[in-house]
Amino acid sequence: MDKGHETSQKPRNFLACLRDHVLLFDGAMGTMIYERGVYVNQCYDALNIQKPDLILGIHRDYADAGADALTTNTFGANRFLLKKYGYEERTVEINRKGAELARQIAGEELFVAGSMGPPPDRMEPLGKLTVRELREAYHEQAEALIHGGADILILETFSDLGMICEIIREIKSAFPKVPLIGQMTVDKEGRTSLGSTPEIFASEIVRAGADVVGVNCSLGPSTMLEVAERIFRISPIPVSAMPNAGLPQRVDGRNIYFSSPEYFSEYTRRFVQVGVRIVGGCCGTTPDFIRSMRNALRSIQPRKRIEITSLPPQHDEDVDLIPTSKKSRLAEKISRGEFVTTVEIVPPQGPDPRKAVEQSRILFESGVDAINIPDGPRALSRMASSYLSLIIQQETGGEVIQHFTCRDRNLLGMVGDFLGAYAAGIRNILIITGDPPKMGTFPDASAVFDVDSIGLTRVASILNHGRDLGGNVLKKATGFFIGVGANPGAINPEEEIRRLEEKRDSGAEYIMTQPVFDPEIFLTFMDRIRHINLPVIAGIWPLVSVRNAEFMNNEVPGANVPDWVMERLKRSRTRDEARETGLAIARETLRILKPYLQGAQISMPFGNVKYPLEVLKEVLS
């Protein structure tokens, strides 16, 4: 079968071949499967074992078109994605078969590239996927592809730089002799979804151990050309580029790509001229595109590389970091070992902040250090904590602790909120996961939860170190005093402590607990988290009636009112007596806990500013 290749048989060494030749990979697999009548709600990777002749036919068409390498039909064949279709236990079989099918057509003339795409979830700390799970899954997939006959492994369409680097390190550690291509996908500005520039992600992929670095998907050839050239300028290893057939347009319910093979042919020449050594196609490209690209390659000499002796510096630009003691007045007091006091003011359900501002003024004048502003507590619709925090700080001159939850914003939105809050003067923050909408009065509202509180803590810490999520240097580092939540009465204390350790490691600087009603449980918890070595601010909620206590016990997550507290409240004969009993219990609790704490956070039942001042009167005096 004559495909017009410059060599009559496959060179033994893939990387040696790249030194002298530009290699042409094939085009889209999913596009071709769809054109053959398989709808997108099916597991395309499972077709390796269900309809092998269909996959063989696609490989044959690309081989006939002149491809130097056939890519396996295994882009989504990691166990995380296969689990969605019930094929998790057949991961090895599907990948091995995918490589065998490609090898059957490739013979000894062509390379077989084992395709591995990203998992459906983010990696910790931005998601729930652990590094160990990630490494094990991609080791499993890589091993199956190699055993099936893959010459090369190609990581495609990744947007998380940390994730692809972890996978590269795992694969190169286990299979050091197998060439590995690492490709990211970028937006029209050339950045990944987390903001990494081509210079940054290419440098990190090289450091992780990849043999080829490049980009694929998302973009048409015009924009990708600029990205590929930027990578070539700094990369000491070969560069790959596999664009889409332009941007799709929706026609009669289908995504249609309107770029022509001739257009791709012209850009193939341009890719080679800027130094790219591997070209191919991604979504929307077909054998006709590859045939045109092959024709273009026959008339081009690859650009010779000027050897680069070192990579750009690994994020060593000077950024002034703010010491904890300089971040805020609250942080300064805690750093000096002083006891601090905060009071929680729940945002109003309407647009009028005047009552909250006046209460804050009273509390500051009484000596309270900061006002604690929750964000949509119990998933109720209220004024955003960000706006109330700014209003209180501007109107009173005092400091607030603004809550940030993971429920209502996607990751990029939360980064924007952080940067905006810091620019507006917010310095103290408390990061919590947030109550799910089903707890509140709008149970059908959607929740985002791109990350949990551990991941969001890491995001704030990254900003504090003068970087964005893509590793790009900011002109100025933020200086947030980062707090995290903890529940001393958690049903699973081991898990609570483990998560608290992760929060500390992610950048937490202080802990604020859920309301404490049982000093004995709290002191046991404090003893168990002593090794975490972070200052603790305990939550205290004055219970002003039996009904209030019952509500806390049954309807507020993490609140556990012990029987002895309920009994003391029940012995009260009047409403006023119950209120005084509740305030006395809160004062007693604070008195017992104070030697073990760096601060107290007092809640304000029913919005009555007198209650927290009654609890704090011994401390403030």
Radius of gyration of the chain (CA): 30
Query: What are 158's strand-pairing partners?
Result: 184
Q: Are 182 and 115 in contact (CB under 8 A)?
A: no
What's the mean pLDDT in 358-379?
A: 88
* pLDDT of 6 above 80: no
Q: Which of 66-70, 116-120, 383-387 has the lowest mean pLDDT?
A: 383-387
The closest of 401, 380, 379, 381 to 389, measured between CA atoms, is 401
**What is the SS3 assignment for 204-260?**
HHHHHCCCEEEEECCCCHHHHHHHHHHHHHHCCCCEEEECCCCCCEEECCEEECCCC
Per the model's pLDDT, the better-predicted residue between 260 and 344 turns out to be 344
Measured between its terminal Cα atoms, the distance across the chain in Å is: 93
- Residue range 42-57, pLDDT digits in tens: 999 999 999 999 999 9
In order of their start, the domains of the chain are 25-297 (3.20.20.330), 324-540 (3.20.20.220)
Q: How confident is the model at residue 220 (pLDDT cuts 50, 70, 90)?
A: confident
What's the mean pLDDT in 500-510?
A: 93
Surface-to-core class of residue 574, CB atoms within 10 Å of its CB (0-12 exposed, 13-18 middle, 19+ buried): exposed
The closest of 453, 444, 475 to 406, measured between CA atoms, is 453
Residue 307 has a pLDDT of: 42
* pLDDT of 507 above 60: yes
For residue 149, the 8-state DSSP code is T
* pLDDT of 254 above 50: no
Q: How confident is the model at residue 436 (pLDDT cuts 50, 70, 90)?
A: low
- Residue range 275-332, pLDDT digits in tens: 999 999 998 899 999 999 999 998 776 655 544 334 445 444 567 889 999 999 999 9
Q: What's the chain's length in residues?
A: 621
In this prediction, what percent of the chain has a pLDDT beyond 70?
89
C-alpha 79/C-alpha 99 separation (Å) is 16
Residue 498 has a pLDDT of: 92
* pLDDT of 377 above 90: no
* pLDDT of 439 above 60: no
Residue 557 has a pLDDT of: 64
Give how far Cα 447 sits from Cα of 140, 246, 472, 484, Å: 33, 33, 29, 20
Helix, strand or coil for residue 174?
helix
C-alpha 601/C-alpha 599 separation (Å) is 7
Q: Which of 92-101, 125-134, 146-155, 391-400 has the lowest mean pLDDT?
A: 125-134
Give how far Cα 182 sits from Cα of 161, 254, 311, 455, 474, Å: 10, 30, 17, 25, 26
Judge if pTM exceeds 0.85. Answer: no
Q: Are 464 and 482 in contact (CB under 8 A)?
A: yes
Q: How confident is the model at residue 124 (pLDDT cuts 50, 70, 90)?
A: confident
Amino acid at 468: D
Q: Six-digit token pair at 397?
A: 């001159």
What's the mean pLDDT in 148-160?
A: 96
For residue 469, the 8-state DSSP code is T
Residue 12 has a pLDDT of: 56
Residue 126 has a pLDDT of: 76
Residue 201 has a pLDDT of: 94
- Residue range 69-93, pLDDT digits in tens: 999 999 999 999 999 999 999 999 9
Amino acid at 116: M
Q: Are 407 and 448 in contact (CB under 8 A)?
A: yes
Query: In whole numbers, what is the pLDDT of the chain averaged over residues?
Result: 87
C-alpha 315/C-alpha 467 separation (Å) is 9
* pLDDT of 376 above 80: no
Residue 72 has a pLDDT of: 98
Residue 311 has a pLDDT of: 46
What's the mean pLDDT in 433-452?
A: 54
Per the model's pLDDT, the better-predicted residue between 468 and 207 turns out to be 207
In this prediction, what percent of the chain has a pLDDT beyond 90?
65
Residue 412 has a pLDDT of: 78
C-alpha 366/C-alpha 599 separation (Å) is 16
Q: How confident is the model at residue 441 (pLDDT cuts 50, 70, 90)?
A: very low
C-alpha 330/C-alpha 174 separation (Å) is 49
Q: Are 581 and 574 in contact (CB under 8 A)?
A: no
Q: Are 68 and 111 in contact (CB under 8 A)?
A: yes
- Residue range 564-599, pLDDT digits in tens: 989 999 999 899 999 999 999 999 999 999 999 999
Residue 148 has a pLDDT of: 97
Residue 444 has a pLDDT of: 47
Give how far Cα 468 sits from Cα of 41, 200, 363, 422, 546, Å: 36, 12, 36, 14, 49
Amino acid at 577: E
Residues 6+ away with beta carbon under 8 Å from 25: 67, 68, 69, 71, 113, 240, 242, 278, 279, 280, 281
C-alpha 42/C-alpha 61 separation (Å) is 22
- Residue range 469-502, pLDDT digits in tens: 777 888 899 999 999 999 998 888 999 999 999 8
